[in-house]
Structure 1
């Protein structure tokens, strides 16, 4: 009991500080509830300059958290899309902020109508460990573009990145504008219970349910970017070199620790052997060796590595065939492997893999492949490899997923002019680009009446005249 009391006393100070940060942001928003476009542009420019100037420090911090993260992958998958997103928002911000005109029904004339986009207030963002920079900056850009104050909760699994971002963002933003919150899971729980005007969470579906439950106590709207088992379908006639190489890129980037990485591949049963060889050739072309290879990223920590090894043990004990693509791993640089003869009772076919393991599921017909996907929770992404337009349309119309990429992987996420978000168990809501601005804005409908008041025609006392008017204008 004494130990529990001491623990709670030690925890109380950070929780008090957390509430104080939130209260300061709420007060700052009340003092400046509608920042002009010029001020928002200044915020975005300061952020862009900061990331550009401190890119090496960010690369080093992320690599430290992973024990090794490819510097080029950090540039490609974190810094580049972050900077592109800032640039895109800066270019389009004034247009997004303009009120949109709407039509007024003839019965309500003379009047005008418009939709005004107002900042929500204080936005909370819970950032995962797998892309700690991009998945902090992306939501931050959307929230700042919309004129909000922002609190970022960084993952306890990326302490070096969290400390650096806290220091860097503190250089350009006061804490009542943007602040970074660090801490273990207890702080994350308390963070999700704050009375945010919007809360965005990126992470596991199981944790997302807890976040949504906590937010519901305050009726806080949420955007949940979760994950799931994103399938890739290899068609009956696509060149296997094309499909294998592009799937391999999507699966090996960040060692498979990507929420939209291909989780398993559906391959025509008579092409499985050829696909395995094409895939092996593609991966070994990317990474001739794992030993001291600067391009190959490590698994984030020992707990995640043990989880992945447990998947392998469970699958092979139930009859799966493991095909390692390298002789052995090195430390937390886990060997990329294929899995054949998989079945639904294996945990690797139940959980999101989030690592360098790729099960191959054979199918006979495209109908069978669609049925396999549709019998499972709706994924965050779906990939189809085939150049037949009719089959591509079938994929779009007969399956459900957060997003689709035809004949490639991952790249749809990097498009600033498209929404990104899940469906069902893979999440709810969207952000990126204009959709991010809209997510973090209140679209306020405004009707403006003129001095002449035609509405008097429908004031009481009611009689036959109003009945005739309603009949003529609305019922007919």
Structure 2
């Protein structure tokens, strides 16, 4: 295998890498199903053959990151989606027939799913393996070549991916790029055929702006302040325990973590008591606990602590669930104790900023309509949570709010079906992937129609216009008007 490209030492190699992949794509043509599956298998092998090394690299990047958590969420979490994609590649590749009744008469139409060409993927730091491998598998399934820019926030994981990739792929198939924010900016400005980004809305806006210069279509997987509504009819103990535990996955550094919880006004203290007890039971110690995930770097540590202190200074009630005799937050380990915030108002930064840490805001509500009005007045989150029965209130919540997905009674339940699309809406993202949605995101649906009819259909739009064309057009319009009016009268 050829050596990997290194844009840091040789500026311009990013452009050369794109051109190299595009030349190979054009020369080889669309890959068949066997080659697409083979590329997916090699992608899986890259991760599965080196799982221990990846887990160690991620732990070193974070400072403390539990091995079991990395294996479950980072590695195991992507396998079912990729296996589903691999199993359906041949089916999704097939052209779809249109105008089937016209075929016997000489008019044949098909829609062909066509590869786009070269796909760029910019990965995040919170799941630096999972969230580049998943979109890469979808891009390979659609028949594309792939370039990945790994996050500079997790440099050991990035370098490992870059070092390993040439043992499994020719750079004409897959190229992995590392480097700082300047390299990422150059990467986003490359003339890809599609650009896929996972990260914050702020950076996503910059990525979209850079891609727009080349009219590159983008998929943005972003985040937001994911709301949770606890129904008056919910099992409060179960709801509070599950929500508190979900907030702590990956140290709260998950784009689908519950962010702020709306609890019936008379049950807030009971909710907080259960959440507090749950967190204490989960973490009898934190500083020496290898299962407690650190903030990924000092910048994020300071940001999370700053959000809490800003809320405290403006009157929020701060419940820090720290073990006895442990002083937290601790800058040396970058560990922040689980924190519950109450009496939060919109003057506080945490009211609008995605927390991305072990902090959960709890808000009281009296009427569901008040919660719905509050949420629809703000940017749509990646996921909205509901704890309680599937009743009329839940259906009202689903119908009258906007979010990338909805999960009821469990963390990230909307991601359980491997065939279901995953993506945001509005500020939480554009486009989706997972399942066929991923194949579609990286495909162009190309319509191919041929006519063996003895007469032209569309040619009648060219002058001179015969009496038959004029009369036929007038009659067709008259029929269309009558049909539309009849439908309106019977509504």
Task: Indicate the TM-score class for this superposition, using the shorter chain for normalisation.
Answer: over 0.9
Secondary structure class of the residue paired with 1:15: coil
Does the 8 A contact of 1:108 with 1:454 survive in 2? no
How many pairs are equivalent?
467
Local SS of the residue matching 1:200: strand
Whole-angstrom CA distance in 2 between matches of 1:413 and 1:170: 31
Partner of 1:283: 279
Residue equivalent to 2:489: none
Provide the secondary structure at the position in 1 that maps to 2:248: helix
The answer to whether residue 48 in structure 2 is matched with residue 52 in structure 1 is yes
Measured at CA, do residues 315 and 180 of structure 1 come closer, stay the same or move farther in structure 2, by a change above 3 Å?
same
Structure 1 residue aligned with 2:78: 82
2:187, 2:104 → 1: CA distance? 46
- In the alignment, the residues of structure 2 paired with residue 12 and residue 402 of structure 1 have an alpha-carbon distance, to the nearest angstrom, of 36
1:15/1:190 contact within 8 Å kept? no
Tell me the residue number matched to 1:96.
92
Unaligned runs of 5+ in 2: 1-5, 480-491
Cα 1:14–1:284, aligned 2, differ >3 Å: closer, same or farther?
A: farther
Matches within 5 A, 1:259-274: 259-274=255-270
Aligned to 1:444: 446
- Quickly say closer, same or farther: Cα 1:12–1:139, change in 2 above 3 A: closer
8 Å CA contact 1:68, 1:298 repeated in 2: yes
Contact 1:339 1:359 in 2 (8 A): yes
Of residues 140-149 and 76-85 in structure 1, the stretch that sits farther from structure 2 once superposed is 76-85
Change (3 A) 1:54 1:110: same
Give the equivalent residue in structure 2 for 1:5. none
Contact 1:405 1:412 (8 Å CA) reproduced? yes
1:240-259 alignment runs, 5 A limit? 240-259=236-255
Alignment pair present for 1:64 and 2:60: yes
* Structure 2 residue aligned with 1:379: 381
Q: Given the alignment of the two structures, is residue 468 of structure 1 paired with residue 471 of structure 2, yes or no?
A: yes
For residues 288 and 126 of structure 1, the distance between their equivalents in structure 2, rounded to whole angstroms, comes to 37
CA contact (8 A) 1:85 1:141 kept: no
Deviation of the 1:388 alpha carbon: 3.9
Q: Cα deviation per residue 1:175-209 (whole Å; 9 max; x = unaligned)?
A: 11111110000001100110011001111111111
User: How far did residue 172 of structure 1 move?
Assistant: 0.8
Q: Is the 8 A contact 1:108 1:455 kept in 2?
A: no
| Aligned-residue offset at 1:289 | 2.1
User: Which digits, 9 at most, give the CA deviation of each residue in 1:148-174, with x for residues without a partner?
Assistant: 011101111111100111122221111
Q: Which residue of 1 aligns with 2:436?
A: 434
Q: 2: distance between equivalents of 1:108 and 1:14?
A: 59
**Does the 8 Å CA contact 1:154/1:180 hold for their aligned counterparts?**
yes
Asked whether the equivalents of residues 8 and 179 of structure 2 are also in contact (C-alpha less than 8 Å), the reply is no
> 1:7 corresponds to which residue?
none
Note the alpha carbon deviations across 1:76-116, whole angstroms, 9 max, x for none. 11101222222111111111111112236879964122110
Among 7, 27, 30, the alignment partner of 1:34 is 30
Q: Which of 335, 338, 342 is the equivalent residue of 2:337?
A: 335
Tell me the residue number matched to 2:155.
Answer: 159
Q: For the structure 1 residues 108 and 223, does the alpha-carbon distance in structure 2 shift closer, same or farther, using more than 3 Å as the test?
A: farther
Rounded to whole Å, the distance in 2 between the matches of 1:15 and 1:143 is 26
Other structure's SS at 2:176 match: strand
- Decide whether aligned partners of structure 1 residues 457 and 109 sit closer, same or farther in structure 2, where only a CA change above 3 A counts: farther
Q: Which moved more, 1:118-127 or 1:372-381?
A: 372-381
Helix, strand or coil for the counterpart of 1:323? Answer: strand
- Write out per-residue CA displacement over residues 344-366 of structure 1, whole angstroms, 9 at most, x where no aligned residue: 11111121110001111111111
Cα RMSD of the aligned pairs, angstroms, is 2.0
- Whether the 8 Å contact between 1:33 and 1:119 is mirrored in structure 2 is no
Report the Cα distance in structure 2 between the residues aligned to 1:307 and 1:278, rounded to whole angstroms. 27
Q: Which residue of 2 aligns with 1:389?
A: 391
Task: Evaluate the alpha carbon distance shift between residue 431 and residue 201 of structure 1 in structure 2; reply closer, same or farther with a 3 A threshold.
Answer: same
* Distance in 2 of aligned mates of 1:92 and 1:107: 27
Determine the C-alpha separation between the residues in 2 that align with 1:350 and 1:117: 40
Secondary structure of the corresponding residue to residue 310 of structure 1: helix
2 CA distance for matches of 1:426 and 1:212? Answer: 13
Of the structure 1 ranges 119-128 and 80-89, higher mean CA displacement relative to structure 2 is found in: 80-89
Offset, 1:394: 0.8
- Which of 217, 225, 228 matches 1:229? 225
How far does residue 212 in structure 1 lie from its aligned partner after superposition?
0.7
> Which of 300, 304, 311 lines up with 1:308 in the alignment?
304
2: CA distance, partners of 1:42 / 1:457: 46
Match of 2:414 in 1: 412
Aligned partner of 1:346 in structure 2 is 348
Q: Distance in 2 between matches of 1:307 and 1:22?
A: 36
Q: What is the SS of the residue equivalent to 2:424?
A: coil
Matches within 5 A, 1:207-226: 207-226=203-222
Q: How does the TM-score come out when normalised to structure 1?
A: 0.94
Please give the per-residue CA displacement for 1:22-59, whole angstroms capped at 9, x wherever unaligned: 11111111112310001011111122233222111111
Gaps of 5+ in 1: 1-9
Indicate the residue corresponding to 2:119 in structure 1: 123
Does 62-71 or 455-464 show the bigger shift? 455-464
Rounded to whole Å, the distance in 1 between the matches of 2:81 and 2:166 is 21
Give the distance between the partners of 1:338 and 1:172, measured in 2 at CA.
46
With normalisation by structure 2, the TM-score equals 0.91
Question: Structure 1 CA distance, aligned partners of 2:234 and 2:202?
Answer: 36
Q: CA deviation at 1:451?
A: 5.0
Structure 1 residue 281, shift from structure 2 partner: 2.1
Deviates more, 1:329-338 or 1:339-348: 329-338
Distance 1:155 1:395, change over 3 A: same
